[in-house]
Every structure is written in structure tokens, then in C-alpha cells.
Amino acid sequence: GAGVSQTPSNKVTEKGKYVELRCDPISGHTALYWYRQSLGQGPEFLIYFQGTGAADDSGLPNDRFFAVRPEGSVSTLKIQRTERGDSAVYLCASSVTRSTDTQYFGPGTRLTVL
Amino acid sequence: KQEVTQIPAALSVPEGENLVLNCSFTDSAIYNLQWFRQDPGKGLTSLLLIQSSQREQTSGRLNASLDKSSGRSTLYIAASQPGDSATYLCAVNSHNAGNMLTFGGGTRLMVKP
């Protein structure tokens, strides 16, 4: 079956612009996660959804970052007024039901803020 | 706060060698530990997941061990091949941060033909 997919694979934007990153989890997975990976480092947690609700958003760095999952499947990570420091690879993952299940990762979206 | 450290940061070995990658974590109250592989410009591929009650897991040439009390895990790769070249990441799912994986910085492995 299909794995986790993310679009776009690459996004280049200018400082101050708004961007949206999309994640399609594995069909039937109720848990969905966003992570951010800077060059040469391991991924860092941003937000966790259980169904349609954000169960844990403690990793979002500030209020410029927001994520939604309105129908409990596809999720969109939204970044307002982008800054150069937002440049990173944004990874999405999903798991069957709980956060303690195996998490399956998508290929990521590489965001570059000029 | 859980902290995960991986040593070495980079490793280069000739093809055919057996090798060990190390992962340590500061809080032993974990649900599980997971090893991932990441190829350049790609996402993460799950290799092995060890539950807190388990001591080791094996998949093909890979063997991962877990010593929860000492906060350590090792990934053993037997008879390494050039195709094993990648970054290997370990991540823990902790009781006090159960909704997220906490990752180490990774070990960049190069296997030379």
C-alpha cells in the first residue's frame, strides 16, 4: 500500500511570505505527527494529531506556525511571515492509533526561505 | 527532559566489516526505542523498534539491543555493504513525552567497496 506522502517536495519562498505544506498519511492511521529537521541534526517534534484534534502542539516554535487536520486524514502545516531560520526539512509521520506505535515517515518537504 | 546522543557522529569502514552504532538516552522511563535509516535527501525508514520490555530485536543483518536501566542501545550491522551507507538515527518514545519521538543527531555511515 501507499506510504506517507508529502507535497511539495521542495519549496523556495521569500522572507515574510506564507507557505503551506501538505501531508497524506497512510490510509487508516489515526495518529499524525510533524517534525522539523535542520541540516546535520535529528528531527525535532512539532505537533501531534489524534484524529482531527491537535493532541500535543508543544513543539511548535511560535505562533507563526499552525497545523490543521480537518477530516482526520490529510494535514496541512502553515507557516506565516516566514523567516530564514525556518529553512529546514519538514517531515510528516503517521502511526496506526497511538504515539507509541511504529511511526512511518514521509519523504519530507525541503523549505528554503531566501 | 529526554536527551538522546549518538556516537560516533560519522564512521567509515571497508566493506565486509561488522560494526556497532551507539545510542544513549538520559531518561530510562521509555515506552520504546526505534532505529531509523535516512538516505541523503530522503525521509526516514524504520529499521527496528524495541519495546521497553525487550532486550533486542533482529532483522536480517541488523541487530538492535536495549539496556534500559543504563540508557543505552546499540545497532549491530553484520557484514557491511556499500548499500548500507546512510545516516542512522535512534529515537526514543518517553513516558514524560509520550506523544513524540526524541531523536539523536545520527551517525553518518560510509561503507567503502
Q: Mean pLDDT throughout A72-95?
A: 96
Q: Assign A1 a pLDDT band (cuts: 50, 70, 90).
A: low
Please indicate whether residue A56 or residue B61 has the higher confidence score (pLDDT): B61
Contacts of B74 (CB under 8 A, 6+ apart): B20, B21, B22, B23, B64, B65
Position A97 scores a pLDDT of 83
Among the partner residues A6, A59, A105, nearest to B100 by beta-carbon distance: A59
B21 touches B109 (CB < 8 A): yes
A48 touches A55 (CB < 8 A): yes
Is the pLDDT at B42 greater than 90? The verdict is: no
**Contact criterion met (CB < 8 Å) for A105 and B98:** no
Distance in angstroms (rounded) separating the CA atoms of residues A77 and A75: 7
**Contact criterion met (CB < 8 Å) for A106 and B36:** no
Q: Is A63 exposed, middle or buried (0-12, 13-18, 19+ CB in 10 A)?
A: exposed
φ, ψ dihedrals at B29, nearest 5°: -80, 80
**Contact criterion met (CB < 8 Å) for A56 and B100:** yes
Is the pLDDT at A110 greater than 80? The verdict is: yes
Among the partner residues B42, B89, B99, nearest to A99 by beta-carbon distance: B99
B50 touches B57 (CB < 8 A): yes
CA distances from A99 to A22, A63, B30, B36 (A): 20, 24, 12, 16
Position B95 scores a pLDDT of 82
